[in-house]
């Protein structure tokens, strides 16, 4: 039986991948040392999810508590499983703009060096497998803020005359000469490495540049996971802080289940050095203010929030992903969750966890 190696196995995307790929017939080796707890505090710990996976998946799931930035540890994993590894899903990362500037060395070691460790061992031990990398739309830096945007009552929106208006931003946007934040830079380095291992060595490597990835398994915090954290604040009656732009910044949100469905299609028909923008697209997007209204409507709870004037460095005023390229390559994939459906699912999951 083939092995699916998942890094960041306790996180939102990684944990969903573990469950779904067991269902696809793989044995799963999940790599996670709960760095999220170290980055963001006890509330962000993914241990609850790792325990859940172990109980639910049994012998089909093996948890390896190692750090991907440790070269020897990564090599030990690959040398143990070798050519049995048929698929690598790389979700482990330091995911926060704000946290990265507090420790640039560790941010780069995890995001860039950790990815390089995985790629080199992939090339050496299982070069016929497929490497799927969770990148981010932050590789585009703040260039999206130079798009012609129009301010409305609850959101910023792209000018209807722009070529990106109908479907969102496609992969033709430059990733050069813009402010990324240190997190954005380390993720860009990883993104380019994954592409290069595909082009230079002829390996199956796929980069997914995610917008806002979310779902009921997300351990959202103030520094990362806005929609999950916003729902959590509503349910637990905690105040929420909006950083800049009057709360009118727009994000496209994709449910982790829809994202893993993309990965399943890729695993069936992998490509080399391929890059896709992935997110909710025009089907699932909202501003922060619109998200608050939806959450209040769904949960019945009033969201307490304040808006501060200073935005996060490199943050986007407006982002909607164009999914056309992926849909053209994998026409069987269908998106199930819109913004309201997402919020309903997140609130339901959070209510169960907090009872």
Residue 355: which pLDDT band, with cuts at 50, 70 and 90? very low
Positive or negative torsion for Cα 103, 109, 110, 115: positive
Rounded CA separation 33/23 (Å): 24
Residue 352: which pLDDT band, with cuts at 50, 70 and 90? confident
What is the pLDDT at residue 221?
59
Tell me 153's DSSP state. S
What is the pLDDT at residue 99?
87
**Which pair of structure tokens corresponds to residue 310?**
């200073």
Residue 315: which pLDDT band, with cuts at 50, 70 and 90? confident
What mean pLDDT, rounded, does the chain reach? 93
**pLDDT digits 0-9 by tens, 1-14:** 799 999 999 999 99
- Domain residue spans in the chain? 3-354
Answer whether 0.85 is exceeded by the pTM: yes
What is the pLDDT at residue 229?
85
Contacts 24+ apart (CB under 8 A), 154-163: 154/248, 154/287, 154/289, 154/290, 154/293, 155/248, 155/250, 155/286, 155/287, 155/289, 155/290, 155/318, 156/245, 156/248, 156/249, 156/250, 156/287, 156/317, 156/318, 157/250, 157/318, 158/318, 158/320
What is the pLDDT at residue 338?
95
Rounded CA separation 304/99 (Å): 24
Radius of gyration over every alpha carbon of the chain, rounded to an integer in angstroms: 19
**pLDDT digits 0-9 by tens, 169-214:** 999 999 999 999 999 999 999 999 999 999 999 999 999 999 889 8
Residue, of 203 and 36, whose pLDDT is higher: 203
**Which pair of structure tokens corresponds to residue 94?**
């330091």
Measured in whole angstroms, the distance separating CA 30 from the mean position of its chain's CA atoms is 17
Whether the per-residue pLDDT at 97 is higher than 90: the answer is: no
Whether the per-residue pLDDT at 230 is higher than 50: the answer is: yes
**Which pair of structure tokens corresponds to residue 325?**
């390229």
Whether the per-residue pLDDT at 93 is higher than 90: the answer is: yes
Residue 220: which pLDDT band, with cuts at 50, 70 and 90? low
Residue 120: which pLDDT band, with cuts at 50, 70 and 90? very high
**pLDDT digits 0-9 by tens, 279-304:** 999 999 999 999 999 999 998 889 99
Least confident of 119-133, 147-161, 233-247: 233-247
**Which pair of structure tokens corresponds to residue 51?**
């325990």
Dump the DSSP string for 260-318. HHHHHHHHHS--SSEEEEES-GGGSEEEHHHHHHHHHHHH-PPPPEEEESPPPTT--SB
Q: How many other C-beta atoms can be found within 10 angstroms of the C-beta atom of residue 177?
A: 7
CATH numeric code, 3-354: 3.40.50.720
Average pLDDT over residues 320-347: 96
**pLDDT digits 0-9 by tens, 42-84:** 887 899 999 999 999 999 999 999 999 999 999 999 999 999 9
What is the pLDDT at residue 123?
98
% of the chain surpassing 70 pLDDT: 97
Q: How many other C-beta atoms can be found within 10 angstroms of the C-beta atom of residue 290?
A: 18
What is the pLDDT at residue 306?
94
**Which pair of structure tokens corresponds to residue 184?**
């954005």
């Amino acid at each position: 039986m083939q092995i699916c190696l998942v890094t960041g196995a306790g996180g939102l995307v990684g944990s969903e991948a573990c469950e779904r790929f067991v269902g696809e017939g793989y044995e799963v080796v999940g790599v996670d040392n709960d760095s999220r707890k170290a980055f963001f505090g006890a509330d962000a710990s993914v241990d609850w999810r790792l325990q859940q996976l172990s109980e639910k998946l049994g012998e089909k799931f093996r948890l390896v508590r190692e750090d991907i930035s440790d070269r020897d540890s990564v090599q030990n994993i690959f040398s143990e499983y070798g050519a049995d590894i048929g698929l690598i899903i790389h979700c482990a990362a330091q995911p926060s703009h704000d946290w990265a500037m507090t420790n640039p060395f560790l941010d780069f070691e995890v995001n860039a060096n950790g990815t390089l460790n995985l790629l080199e061992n992939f090339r050496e031990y299982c070069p016929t497998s497929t490497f799927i990398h969770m990148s981010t739309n932050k590789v585009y830096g703040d260039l999206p803020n130079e798009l012609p945007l129009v301010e409305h009552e609850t959101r910023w929106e792209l000018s209807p005359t722009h070529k990106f208006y109908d479907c969102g931003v496609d992969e033709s946007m430059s990733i050069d000469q813009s402010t990324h934040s240190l997190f954005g830079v380390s993720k860009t380095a990883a993104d380019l490495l994954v592409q290069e291992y595909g082009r230079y060595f002829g390996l199956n490597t796929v980069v997914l540049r995610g917008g806002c990835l979310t779902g009921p398994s997300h351990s959202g915090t103030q520094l990362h996971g806005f929609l999950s954290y916003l729902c959590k604040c509503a349910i637990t009656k905690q105040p929420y802080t909006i950083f800049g732009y009057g709360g009118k910044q727009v994000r496209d949100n994709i449910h982790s289940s829809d994202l893993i469905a993309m990965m399943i299609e890729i695993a069936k028909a992998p490509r080399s050095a391929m890059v896709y923008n992935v997110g909710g697209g025009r089907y699932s997007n909202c501003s922060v203010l619109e998200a608050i209204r939806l959450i209040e409507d769904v949960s019945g709870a009033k969201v307490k929030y304040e808006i501060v004037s200073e935005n996060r460095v490199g943050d986007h005023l407006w982002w909607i992903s164009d999914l056309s390229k992926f849909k053209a390559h994998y026409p069987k994939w269908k998106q199930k969750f819109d913004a309201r459906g997402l919020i309903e699912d997140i609130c339901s999951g959070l209510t169960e966890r907090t009872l």
